[in-house]
A = this chain, B = another copy of it.
Amino acid sequence: MASEQMTVAQLCAEVKAAAPALARAPREIKDAALQALADSLEARSAELIEANALDLAAGEAAGLSAALLDRLLLNKERIAAIAAGARQVAALDDPVGELIEQRELENGLRLRKLRVPLGVVAVVYEARPNVTIDASALCLKSGNACLLRGSGSAEHSNAMMVEIAADAAESVGLPRAVVTLVGGGRDHLAELATQQGVVDLIVPRGGEGLKAALEQVATIPVLYAASGNCHVYVDRGADLQQAAAITLNAKVQRPGVCNAAETLLIHRDVAAEFVPSIVNQLLDAGVELRADEATKEFAGAELGERLVDASDSDWGTEFLDLILAVRIVDSVGEAIEHITRYGSGHSEAIVTQDEEAARAFELGVDAACVYVNASTRFTDGAEFGMGAEIGNSTQKLHARGPIGLRELCTFKYVISGDGQVRA
């Protein structure tokens, strides 16, 4: 492949030139490419595992942690799961060409608002090589040519997967460049993030470091899938059994993800009953609790001993771990204020049977997803019935919440007339 010798700008120009063919491709062609991609991943899994072994060896030599090496690892099962993901994307409805709105204007013009691909989408991500195929599949299906910039630690795995994806595109008559790998260091990221008029969107999938790096240099639109500092608020009108189940699920079921809860807010009126019980259950589940003074008092002397004093910084921290901050509030209004101050606009839950409190929380909390009597863990493209997603946006513009196929599209107005001119 020539891509090794090309500059990032040249690579991007090549991808842009390839984009219209994919943007116009009918569903059958795109789905056939996804099927070919899935089949080929499985057929060539031995080759892919060999490429991955090179990354693993380099990672070991570089002293990567066992956890990072596990993230990097591809085996037959994982490859089969990645292929299955691509087939699931093929089964989703085609967002391209969807009629979003139409109306006939008084002058007889017929106005249609149609969903169309963005054009060229860059995805920047970290260790896990499966993102290479997940992102390729979502971009192919949504009609977007894609530039993929994975981690240097997965370079051999990513190169092989992009080759497989480009082969699949070629096998159905699409240009190979609709799936293109971008290598290199931070300079290359800056070059990628300033391709105005060529790259239509960058989606970073990674931590705050990547976000900060992009904020400094990007001149093209970025869709940040930012961190989730999510809250569960147990209102005085809560069914306390429901509240316990939701709290435990939101914190414990998978603590390392962005829709897990990081702070529990409890209304003072139910604290005497709820605090001792939930504290016991959370401690039993291995959760470290960082509590305010009032929570410690409600927990009682013995249980209170087992709680860590919350510091101010705890309210704003996304622990991504078995740690939960706990605070007593006097009203739903105070809960909303706390969330407004510390939340990241991701997923926020209230537990209550009181409709007025639920309505106040729904209206007052400014977040992508506001839950009433359900766990924050449902914020997910698949759970929402949107199919696969490329991340969760905490931005307000364009896409908020799960970034699925539709969110990777824009629209155009097509206006048809019979000679209308403006008076």
Interface residues of A (CB under 8 A from B): 20, 23-24, 103, 105, 109, 111, 116, 118-119, 200-201, 215, 219, 221, 223, 239, 241-242, 245-246, 248-250, 253, 340, 358, 362-364, 366-375, 377-379, 383-385, 395-398, 400-401, 410-422
A411 to B378, CA, bound (A): 18
Chain B nearest CB from A2 CB (Å) reads 24
* Chain B min CB distance to A391 (Å): 15
- Give Cα distance in the complex from A415 to B412, angstroms: 30
* Minimum CB–CB distance for A143 against chain B, Å: 11
Given contacts A200-B396, A377-B422, 14 further A-B contacts (CB under 8 A): A109-B374, A111-B384, A111-B385, A201-B396, A221-B397, A242-B419, A248-B421, A253-B421, A373-B416, A374-B416, A374-B419, A398-B398, A400-B411, A401-B413
Contact of A395 among B221, B369, B383 (CB under 8 A): B221
Distance from A23 Cβ to chain B, minimum over Cβ atoms (Å) = 8
Residue of A215, A246, A378 most packed against chain B (CB within 10 A):
A378
Partner of A414, one of B246, B370, B383, B395: B370
**22 contacts across the A-B interface (CB closer than 8 A):** A24-B364, A116-B366, A118-B396, A200-B397, A201-B396, A221-B395, A239-B419, A253-B421, A358-B416, A362-B414, A368-B413, A372-B414, A373-B419, A373-B420, A374-B416, A374-B420, A375-B421, A377-B422, A378-B415, A383-B422, A397-B397, A398-B398
CB distance from A173 to the nearest CB of B (A): 17
Task: Tell me which of B249, B363, B412 contacts A369 (CB under 8 A).
Answer: B412
Minimum CB distance partner of A361 in chain B? B414
Q: Which residues of B contact A372 (CB under 8 A)?
A: 414-417
CA distance A398 to B118 in the complex (A): 11
Residues of B contacting A248 with CB < 8 Å? 421
Q: Which of A109, A239, A358, A374 has the most CB of B within 10 A?
A: A374
Residues in B with CB closer than 8 Å to A400 are: 410-413
- Residues of B within 8 Å of A413, CB to CB, are 368-370, 379, 384, 400-401
Chain B residues contacting A363 (CB-CB under 8 Å) are: 24
**Which residues of chain B come closer than 8 Å to A250, judged between CB atoms?**
421
